[in-house]
Chain A
Amino acid sequence: MTAPAQPSPAFEYAPAPESRSIVDIAPSYGLFVDGEFVDGTGEAMKTVNPATEEVLSEVAVGTEADVDRAVKAARRAFTRTWGPMRPADRGKYLFRIARLLQERAREFAVLETLDNGKPIRESRDVDVPLAAAHFLYHAGWADKLDWAGLGPGPRPLGVAGQVIPWNFPLLMLAWKIAPALATGNTVVLKPAETTPLTALLFAEVCRQADLPAGVVNVVTGAGETGRAVVEHADVDKVAFTGSTEVGRSIARAVAGTRKKLTLELGGKAANIVFDDAPVDQAVEGIVQGIFFNQGHVCCAGSRLLVQENVHDEVIARLQRRIGTLRLGDPLDKNTDIGAINSAEQLARIRELSEIGEAEGAQRWQPACALPDRGFWFPPTVFTEVSPAHRIARDEVFGPVLSVLTFRTPDEAVAKANNTTYGLSAGIWTEKGSRILAITDRLRAGVVWANTFNKFDPTSPFGGYKQSGYGREGGRQGLAAYLTGADSK
């Protein structure tokens, strides 16, 4: 069967914007330290809506002195309240937080979309529900840590310094804070420079939950603030999600200290499509793999490895499907592709795409009108990509798919593993034994078979090789925040 070569026109939909009136954004925010919002000692920074470039608010930039205050508050809380607290009560606080997130879910979703640029469909259906799920899941662990497989009586580490990225601001906060608190640690969290607002709203949730002061501290800022958190001498644990380059510098910074480190870094996942895969499902998976969250996903399926004999058919159907994606107002409930998070990220995506063309790959983009204001990049497919091309090796972190081909399963595995990263991979085939054989040989921390970009708090997530170490989620994720005979 041959697929229609021409893209089908998208249906015309009337605008269906989610109301932003549910959110009150203050003109300025301080830092959340020791249970209160306080002024930072540094200059403020502006956070903008990347879809419109409208300034949403001014946010404090935490200095070394601010970070020090936050770490001291976290240490006090660890020593006096949170550490000595009955584990069951710690769990009940986490249950409270989860419920508050569910109650205020729409508010969080709208705010996330405003600050990040992601479609409301994703913040509403993925980011916020999963964030609540992470708190619910870890709430139950708080008084069951003896059964976590880390030996008897595992103990918290103390103060956790956590630095998170801008692609899933609230969800990454949940991945960091929920396990830290469930295991009895206290937290100093540094949200990403361009997406601080949901973390500040989360601080309000902590107050509504009557979480003891100092258990969670939110210090906003940019790279220097993050460095101060990581390098603070009284931090016992550092958890970072972000680029491999920054991860490397953090690993150097904590070398020789007592600090326990977990890193969740970049990726360049292979999404492998065999010739027996159901093509329409595979095409949905390819789209979900690379265009979910504008491709701002460390585990994005950014390298499509398609078996040579079905290449033309898969690409034709993929292009037809991409032609129906709706790019535009992230608050519109029908939007599939929102805004690129920042001008800086847009510049990087443009640069790597230009390098892709210069190195000989073929760029394809659908006819797609981009809004006049804000940061936008259309969904992009590069064919005729060779494994040596920059767009096959570097993490683009944008809606850019590189297509390579293979003939045999061995070649697929070799090409999939031919990367310094090892975060995730995908396989599409109807043959069960092949799924298991290929899964076994892929050097990646998450393998999605006949699906892609799915997440759950019970399923540990994290990388092989230079995609980092340590896991988030599941029983395995608890080890990052505990010490005991067996928890190295």
Chain B
Amino acid sequence: MSDRLAVRKTYKLYVNGAFPRSESGRTYEVTDTRGHFLANAARASRKDARDAVVAARAAFGKWSGATAYNRGQVLYRVAEVMEGRHVQFCDEVAAGEGLSSSRARAAVDAAIDRWVWYAGWTDKLAAVLGGANPIAGPYFGFSTPEPTGVVAVLAPQRSSLLGLVSVLAPVLACGNTAVVVTSGARPLPAVTLGEVLATSDVPGGVVNLLTGDAAELGPWLAEHDDVDAIDLTGAPAGRAMELERLAAGSIKRVVRPPSEEPDWTADPGTSRLTPFLETKSVWHPIGL
């Protein structure tokens, strides 16, 4: 151990490609599982959430309009940069989740590999989920999956990186933009992921990461008319029904929370892609 005094990081929000503090000026103390101080994280407010939705909406056209090939490469680039931050993620996951260094390493490995898996989905979705429709008549018809729009994600509370990646990467692979409320008690890997995203060719606003309290931010996002879908995976216990009711106001697509946080190492299949895709069916007459 050297006796050099470490330079500590300031953990902030990630909104519209920048790292602002909460407009409210609020922070909260983040500790490791033994209660030792790790950092003061920004506690995002209602206005931060609304700013994040504005940024996500503005970024949607370009991100959803990019070719699937390009989107796949940008997402793969995220995995490359994550790999370079491997040690930092391990330290943060180990401290925040109380894992041994080998288990933390396994979680980070799985998170990076999960990101790669979703990066490869971008240009397969149309073939796997869409196709030509054999219409009974002189028409050519096809159906193709398209992104739903702006997706609010209440990220898992326990699995601070693998869980986060498992809910965020599929949203992005489909071409959506995201407003994420990170794990409340374990927000630090999410902020570091924001730094990865900011340096990985992901356009600003495509991902917005809010540290803070899902119980406070969830209702604002659930009832926001410019949010198209909400993933309630990390919703606070007992609050999911209220959030789903609020989401009904603008007919949002809702992913209900599992009864308990799942084992994120399991193969997710397409179950986290299809809820954030719309099917568009197109018709054209056939004739000379």
Contact = CB atoms under 8 A, between A and B. Distances in A.
Same assembly: yes
Interface of A: 133, 149, 151, 244, 247-249, 251-252, 255-256, 263, 265, 420, 435, 439, 444-451, 454, 456, 458-462, 464-469, 471, 474-476, 479, 485-488
B245 A252 contact: yes
Contacts of A255: 241, 244-245, 247-248, 254
B280 A447 contact: yes
Interface in B257-288: 269-272, 274-275, 278-285
Interface string B248-260: 1111011100000
Contacts of A256: 240-241, 244-245
Given A255-B245, A459-B133, A248 B251 contact: yes
A446 B271 contact: no
Nearest to B283: A448
Contact of B283 (A133, A459, A479, A486): A459
Given A447-B282, A485-B269, A252 B248 contact: yes
Contact of A488 (B241, B247, B274): B274
Nearest to B287: A450
Interface string B117-144: 0000000000011010111110101010
Interface of B: 128-129, 131, 133-137, 139, 141, 143, 148-149, 228, 240-241, 244-245, 247-251, 253-255, 269-272, 274-275, 278-285
A435 B142 CA distance: 14
A459 B241 contact: no
Contacts of B241: 255-256
Contacts of A487: 271, 274
B141 A469 contact: no
Nearest to A486: B269
A448 B249 CA distance: 29
Nearest to B238: A256
B271 A474 contact: no
A471 B145 CA distance: 12
A326 B128 CA distance: 46
Contacts of A263: 251
Q: Which of B129, B141, B251 has the most CB of A within 10 A?
A: B251
B228 A465 contact: yes
Q: Which of A249, A459, A487 has the most CB of B within 10 A?
A: A459
A149 B271 CA distance: 11
A425 to B, nearest CB: 10
Nearest to A485: B269
Contact of A456 (B141, B247, B251): B141
A244 B282 CA distance: 23
A446 B249 contact: no
A23 B137 CA distance: 30
Q: Which of B250, B275, B280 has the most CB of A within 10 A?
A: B280
